[in-house]
Amino acid sequence: EVQLVESGGDLVQPGGSLRLSCAASGFPFNVFTMHWVRQAPGKGLQYVSNILSNGNTYYADFVKGRFTISKDNSKNTLWLEMGSLRAEDTAVYYCGRTQDGSFLDWGQGTLVTVSS
Amino acid sequence: QSALTQEASVSGTVGQKVTLSCTGNSDNIGTYTVGWYQQISHGAPKTVMCGNSLPSGIPDRFSGSKSGTTAYLTISGLQPEDEADYYCSTWDRSLLVQVFGGGTRLTVL
C-alpha cells in the first residue's frame, strides 16, 4: 500500500523558516517524480515545487529563492525547506507522486501558518 | 488566473451523467496525461482519474478522455457522495511547472 505522510507543519512568524518532510512507502521512491502542492484557506490547489527521479528540481515563481526541495532515496523521504516565510504562504502543504503529469497518490497534508 | 480552465460549478441530479471539462494548450494537456482529483470538504485530494485510467478503488462510473487540448471527466450515474470539488492538472513543458485548473464545484441535487 502506497503511503505518503507529511510532517513538520507549524505556526511560524513572518520571515521565519520551516522544514516539511514527506515519508514515502509502498513504491520505489527513487523512480518517481515527487511534488509539493499547497492549498491556502478557501483556495484551490497550487503547485509549489517538484523533484525528478534524476534530482532535477523545479519551482513555482513565488517560491524561487525561498524554498528548496530535496530528497533522500535511501530514506524514502522528501523535504521542503521553507525560508523567508510570508503570511501568504499559509496553507496546507501536500506531497504527491506523479507519473507522466498525473498525480498517482497524495499525502494527508500538513498545515503551515505564518503569523505574528 | 489558472493555467487550466475549468467550469466554476456544475450540478446534476442523482443518476444523471455529468461531464467536467479542463482546457489548456499544446504545452500541457496536448502533451501530457491529465489527472483529475476529488476533494471533499477541503480534505486531502484523491485521484479519481489518470488520463483515461481508473485508479484502484474508484467506481467505474468515472471515466476520462481528452480531445486536443481539452480533457474531460465524466461521471455516469451521479451519486450523492460525488459532491465535491474537482481539480485537473498536468505538467507544462514550456512553463516547467505543474499546472492546475481552478476547480469545479460539483453539486448533486
Among A45, A60, A107, select the one facing B87 at the smallest CB separation: A45
Interface test with B, best of A102, A103, A104, A106 (most B CBs within 10 A): A102
H-helix segments, A23-71: none
Of B35, B47, B100, the CB nearest to A46: B100
In A, which residues are within 8 Å of B33 by CB distance? Answer: 99-102
Confidence of residue A92 (pLDDT cuts 50, 70, 90): very high
Distance CA B35, CA B30 (A): 13
Alpha-carbon span B4 to B79, nearest angstrom: 26
CB contact at 8 A, B7 and B106: no
Residue A82 pLDDT exceeds 90: yes
Helix (H, G, I), strand (E, B) or coil at B37: strand
pLDDT in tens, B23-74: 999 999 999 999 999 999 989 999 999 988 999 999 999 999 999 999 999 9
Residues in chain B closer than 8 A to A45 (CB atoms): 37, 39, 45, 87, 89, 100, 103
Give the mean model confidence (pLDDT) for residues B91-106.
95
